[in-house]
Amino acid sequence: MLEGSVRKAGNRVRITGQLIDTITGAHIWADHFDGALDDIFDLQDEIASNVVGVIEPKLRLSEIWRATRKPTESLDAYDLYLRALGQFHKYTEEGIRSAIALLKRALDIDPSYAPTAAMIGWCRLLQRRQGWGPVSDAQVAEGLRLARQAIEVGKDDPDALWMGGYVIAVFAAERSTANSVIQRALMLNPNSAYAWSANGWVLCFGNQPRPAVEAFERAMRLSPLDPLGYTFSGGLALAHLAAGRYEEAAEWADRSLREQPRYSIAIRMKLVSFAQLDRLDEARYWLKRLLELQPGLTIAGWKASYGAPFLSPELLGVYVKGLRKAGVPEE
């Protein structure tokens, strides 16, 4: 249940809201919003957007917790999907493998459940870019196939659309199609922080940093304490990197790493940013950190497995130059 109150002082108004679990009485979320009475209609829109944006991930976390307490013999496709999300948030190689196994069980129960299919592709993508593998070409192809399936079946499911769109942007380098799919997700749910984040990433891949920054900032406003917040700040790092603002890119990558220290994308952006700034000692430090997560990294290997297929030529050039200056071998 969502409840709240309004207090007025002069021309100022404060609106508070809190979300209550009606079964346990626990507070799931609470916040307040301040504004001027002259702008009351804008304030109403802001509150509605922020409440929806913040409540969605809070509710999902509560649902994940509920699913983990449910007996395994009574799990349905949705419960398995929620358990898979819980494993995903652990951000470990074992957690991702467990998530994929749970998602496949969910698909066996309900092959038409689009978010499950899309999330398998998202997990495969994470395995590939984190070096949690080996991930075979057949597994990548399976993830791409399931993402396309999710987009086709889940035309009215924003989660299926933004995940599926993001997967095809990376695995198939279909940025235009991915953009249109993610835009549909935003039409269905304009308060989805995840859809805004996916939009930002795909815009970055196409070397469009200005609208990408706006998309990531929107995601952070909608869900400032999100469990995937490190991907929002990591996306801002990439947008600044694409714009040539290397100091800002390093700062946002650092913020991302404070939330998730194993996030190799942010580590790579830090070393590239420092290399582009000719701060080579710092770049080599971050290269050492990256090699701990991805031993044997080479420029050719990175381009083949993650960089070249979907990044714009301009952004790819920034990465390659930075990796080379930091001392990453060619092959």
CATH number assigned to the domain comprising residue 144: 1.25.40.10
218 falls within a domain: no
Dump pLDDT digits (tens) for 43-62.
777 777 667 766 777 677 66
Cα separation, 309 vs 302, in Å, equals 10
Is 58 found in the same domain as 81? no
- pLDDT for 246 equals 98
Neighbours of 66 (CB within 10 A): 12
Structure token digits, residue 65 = 């917790």
Structural domain count of the chain: 3
Dump pLDDT digits (tens) for 76-98.
888 899 999 999 999 999 999 99
Name the residue range of residue 20's domain.
1-62
Residues 58 and 36: beta-carbon distance below 8 Å = no
User: Where residue 68 falls among pLDDT bands split at 50, 70, 90?
Assistant: low
Residue 172 has pLDDT above 70, yes or no: yes
Is 85 found in the same domain as 20? no
Q: What are phi and psi of 157, to 5 degrees?
A: -115, 105
Q: Which of 260, 231, 226, 230 is nearest to 55 (CA)?
A: 226
- pLDDT for 67 equals 57
Share of the chain above pLDDT 70, in %: 91
Is 75 found in the same domain as 56? no
- pLDDT for 54 equals 66
Is 85 found in the same domain as 48? no
Is 149 found in the same domain as 43? no
196 falls within a domain: no
Lowest mean pLDDT segment, chosen from 16-30, 170-184, 238-252: 16-30
Residue 206 has pLDDT above 90, yes or no: yes
Is 154 found in the same domain as 134? yes
- 240-268 per-residue burial string, b: 16 or more CB within 10 A, e: under 16: bbbbebbebbbbbbebbbebbeebbbbbb
Is 92 found in the same domain as 54? no
Structure token digits, residue 144 = 């791409």
Is 97 found in the same domain as 57? no
Is 130 found in the same domain as 181? yes
